[in-house]
Structure 1
Amino acid sequence: MPLVVIGINHRTAPVEIREKMVFAGEELPEALRELAGQPGVREALIVSTCNRTELYCFADDSPGGESTDRSHNGPAPAPDPSLPLSNWLAHWHDLATHRLDIDQTLYRMHGTAAVQHLFAVACGLDSLVIGEPQILGQLKDAYRAALDQKVTGPYLNRVMQTAFSVAKRVRTQTRIGANAVSVAYAAVSLARTVFEKFSGHTALLVGAGETIALAARHLHANGLGRMIVANRSIGRAQELAAEFKGFAIGIDDIATHLPEADIVITSTASPTPVITYDAVQAAVKARKRKPIFMVDIAVPRDIEAEVSKIEDVYLFTIDDLQNVVNENLASRREAARDASEMLATEVSVFEQQLKTLDAVPTIRQLRDDAEALRSQTAEQARRMLAAGRDPQEVMDFLASTLTNRLLHGPSQRLREAAERGEVELLEAARILFAAGSPDQN
């Protein structure tokens, strides 16, 4: 049962596709339960952010049962365990209706490659902004959601906890997190290419999550003149605005205040745009064609795509931030190489530890069987003592009977192995019992 990962991210799919693949918060519980119920899936987890949608599953090597090629009278190659998951993903998001074929944008990984990918994601090595810390929190949220739905198990629990631990070590032992670089930072950096100074300008921030909070801090640090925070929850908007002496409004009031904004940065979880073409066109007219700089970080997009066609509006999406991000990553590239070397070691250590899990059920069963035989034989010995039998006779009975009962099953199986010529089993037994034999000296 390997770890299987399928997904899309900022490198494999543009925002037009990624926004169709987002799992909204309210639908995530049902999606997790349905995913965990797919043939061959034992454990499941869904990661859905503005830059990636990924399914992490602990799945059978051959979902739906063993496949056999009858024409060759032998086992056929095992089906790709990611294929049913890809089909489920496309069906869940009704991609056929959108006439989207995601086959060329999906990446699929199994086993070691999947574990390495997860660790890289947790460390921020697979992010749009290398080393950004937000993805680790998003992974933890995804894991918590899966735990709530009881769709994880021993494997995903162990691999996720290990990923979190590895990410912490990478962040503390390398400079991967040095120099504040994030999508929010990149958005503010891009704004500085339009406005030499922020002191005489107003920014409208739509949303009140971590990304918008980061953007607010960067704008404030750069001397922003005035800040307006819009959010569906006016209380959260007021809380963030108060931190920077700003002004809070509701989502429905955006169009009214849009003419005041020189800078607009949006990052909400709304399934539909919150800023329309008509609202922006009216704002530009009210501003007497004074330019508006807009960055839409959300997926699905918060600003209607047609807004980019309006003169005097500079609209950028999250994908447009890549160039800005690249200019701020020089100091992290060496750290990323160091982190990659650490990951290779950590993946190897994890897989070695994981192999011990395969032996756990056998060891547990062996101990349970031995304990049952010990208990049965000891009870017989106690009855013999109670009946007045000689203690030495009872001791001899206990030792010989327990030995015979413990060795009966293995001895019988080894004789059968010898008759059938199962050399590997016989050799394994020699190694096992030689390693476990007491010191005769």
Structure 2
Amino acid sequence: MSLMALGLNHASAPLDLRGRFAIPADRLGGRLQALRAHLAAVDSPASGLAILSTCNRTELYLGLAPQAEPQPALLEPVVAWLAEEGASSPEAVRAHSYQLQGEGVARHAFRVAAGLDSMVLGEPQILGQLKQAVREAEGVGVLGPTLQQLFQRSFSVAKAVRSGTEIGAHAVSMAAAALRIAQQLYGDIGQRRVLFIGAGEMIELVATHFAAQAPQQIAVANRSAERGAELAARLGAQLLPLRGLDLRLGEFDIVVSCTASSLPLIGLGAVKRALAARRREPMLMIDLAVPRDIEADVAGLEDVYLYTVDDLARHVQQGGARRQAAVQQAEALVDAGVHRFSQWLEQRCSVPLILALRERSEQWRQLELERARRALARGEDVEQVLEQLSGSLSAKMMHGALAGLHASRGADHRDWAAAARRCFLGEGSAPH
């Protein structure tokens, strides 16, 4: 199967290392073009590319040219490119990544789409992120037909898992987990002031959960004032500028941040000043960004409760036991999807053979038809001409199979016999 993939996720790499390789959504198209140029420079047989980058994973998918066989060496240029992207070493990428090929790529992609490979079993957000990754690859013209078919089928499998199993019936989201942690710490959220930094999908989900508890104050800060204003309007929140935000941190009991910044937005010094202004009243800080928005050292401060995306995932898993019963059923749907995709890919690989067979049969037809026309022009009997035409076509059609049967021995002969029975007698298999 002409597929390969390289990836790092929550199971293979720690948070800070994943952060090195995370690619913001607005840079995905450009990075895909850069990867295509890099692979073209080393004569890679990759004919299709896609990159999935979320807070939990960065995965690179390759569709290979039909004549190329998947092999580990073909991923080495991808390893080198990703290492350079993350200002890391190829050794670090290899140590914390997984390399997949053939059916393993299809199975992985289907499990990712279905939420079976997520930190939160069955979480639905990954499907939207995967669809966005496909749109980006299509937008810059690098997806290719094999990967397009792979991902379209992954969406179908995800839909079947979602509608046909209980995987998502008891879903506990990151947003719900964030609210639960806040309630465990503070009790009534209605007496608390909450700051959201960012205005993306994850912040919107978390903010919606918190807004339902009617906090005393909600504020939104975002790099794009327009998008921040839209979210603030929906929440009935105050819009704050990012510039100078560190001077106002002390006003808030709960800070939730998830941006695409490549560097931390909130440093240790700013949090220390905020705590001093609050007279050591505790703060809850939830950092859902990869790379981090809040410096890791903040976790060492006595009056700060800092949770990362990995911390929240552990809380979520505590409520996931009821979904485990549906995993076996979901995996069976994935297996069926992989089988159907493998069949499609094999049939697609047979297209050149099918075209060649049709061309050869048409050559035979034209040759015998021309002979028949010449015979009729000479005045030969019509019945005799038709007999000769049908006999010649039959002989040409049977020649290869009969020659193979006569010339073969042992297992080779049994294979020829089985093929002849299937092709000419319509039998499903050779008799035992």
TM-score band w.r.t. shorter chain: 0.7 to 0.9
Contact 2:19 2:291 in 1 (8 A): yes
Quote the residue 1:33 is aligned against: 36
Pairing 1:160-309 to 2, within 5 Å after superposition: 160-309=151-300
User: Which range moves more in the overlay, 376-385 or 190-199?
Assistant: 376-385
Partner amino acid, structure 2, of 1:30: Q
User: Is the 1:33–1:149 Cα contact (8 Å) retained in structure 2?
Assistant: no
How far is 1:187 from its partner?
1.8
Secondary structure of 2:354 counterpart:
helix
SS of residue in 1 equivalent to 2:243: helix
Contact 1:36 1:42 in 2 (8 A): no
Identity of aligned pairs, percent?
Answer: 38
Amino acid at match of 2:118: S
Which AA in structure 2 matches 1:230? A
Aligned-pair CA distance for 1:224: 2.1
For structure 1, which segment, 426-435 or 41-50, has the greater mean C-alpha deviation from structure 2 after superposition? 426-435
Residue 430 (structure 2) aligns with: none
Letter in 2 for 1:430: A
Hey, what does 1:42 align to over in structure 2? 47
Among candidates 401, 420, 428, match of residue 430 of structure 1: 420
The Cα offsets for residues 262-287 of structure 1, whole Å up to 9 and x where unpaired, read as: 11111111111222223222222222
Q: Does the aligned pair in 2 maintain the 1:267–1:302 contact within 8 Å?
A: yes
Contact 2:39 2:78 in 1 (8 A): no
Change (3 A) 1:375 1:314: same
Q: 1:71 — aligned with what?
A: none
Amino acid at match of 1:86: V
> What are the Cα deviations for residues 64-84 of structure 1, in whole angstroms up to 9, with x where unaligned?
x89xxxxxxxxxxx6555444
TM-score (norm 2): 0.85
How do 1:12-27 and structure 2 match up within 5 A?
12-24=12-24, 25-26=26-27, 27=30
Matched, 1:86 2:79: yes
Deviations 1:251-307 (A, max 9, x none): 224224322211111111111122222322222222222222101111111112222
C-alpha separation in 2, matches of 1:376 and 1:153: 39
Does the residue aligned with 1:294 lie in a helix, a strand or coil?
strand
Deviates more, 1:180-189 or 1:414-423: 414-423
What residue is the counterpart of 1:149 in the other structure?
140
Do 2:50 and 2:137's aligned partners in 1 also have CA atoms closer than 8 Å? yes
Of 378, 382, 399, the match for 1:411: 399
5+ residue gaps, structure 2, are 428-432
2-structure distance, mates of 1:3, 1:378: 44
Q: CA deviation at 1:412?
A: 6.4
Q: Secondary structure at the match of 2:248?
A: helix
How many residue pairs get matched? 420
1:155 Cα deviation (Å)? 2.1
Q: C-alpha deviations, 1:208-255, integer Å up to 9, x for none? A: 111111101110123322211111111111111111211122322422
Q: Distance in 2 between matches of 1:276 and 1:396?
A: 96
1:114: how far off? 2.5
Q: Distance in 1 between matches of 2:160 and 2:198?
A: 32
Query: Cα offset for 1:162?
Result: 0.8
Q: Encode CA deviations 1:318-359: one digit per residue, 9 max, x unaligned.
A: 111133112221222212333123223332333334333232
Moved more, 362-371 or 320-329: 362-371
Give the whole-Å Cα distance in 2 for the aligned partners of 1:406 and 1:89: 58
Segment drifting more, 49-58 vs 31-40: 31-40
For residues 120-179 of structure 1, what are the alpha-carbon distances to aligned partners after superposition, in whole Å with 9 as ceiling and x for unaligned?
A: 110011111111111001111111122223223332122111110000011011121123
Q: Distance in 1 between matches of 2:80 and 2:349?
A: 30
- Describe the SS at the equivalent of 2:284: strand
Q: 1:31 to 1:184 in 2, by over 3 A?
A: farther
- Cα 1:308–1:79 shift into 2, 3 Å: closer
Q: Out of 356-365 and 11-20, give the one that drifted further.
A: 356-365
Task: State how far apart, in whole Å, the 1-side matches of 2:259 and 2:391 are.
Answer: 69
How far apart, in 1, do the equivalents of 2:105 and 2:315 lie? 29
Deviation at 1:61, TM superposition (A): 10
**Contact residue 7 and residue 107 of structure 1 kept, 8 A:** yes
| CA distance in structure 2 between the aligned counterparts of 1:299 and 1:410, rounded to whole angstroms | 64
Q: CA deviation at 1:432?
A: 4.7
The 1:390/1:339 distance shift into structure 2, 3 A limit, reads same
1:373 to 1:190, Cα distance in 2 relative to 1, 3 A: same
Is the 2:171–2:320 Cα contact (8 Å) retained in structure 1? Answer: no
In structure 2, the CA distance between the partners of 1:392 and 1:52, relative to structure 1 (3 Å rule), is farther
Gaps of 5+ in 1: 67-77
Contact 2:199/2:222 (<8 A) preserved: yes
**Contact 1:293-1:313 at 8 Å conserved across structures:** yes
AA aligned to 1:228 is A
The residue aligned with 1:367 is 358
The one-letter amino acid paired with 2:181 is L
Residue 413 (structure 1) shift: 8.7
Distance in 2 separating the partners of 1:229 and 1:425: 70
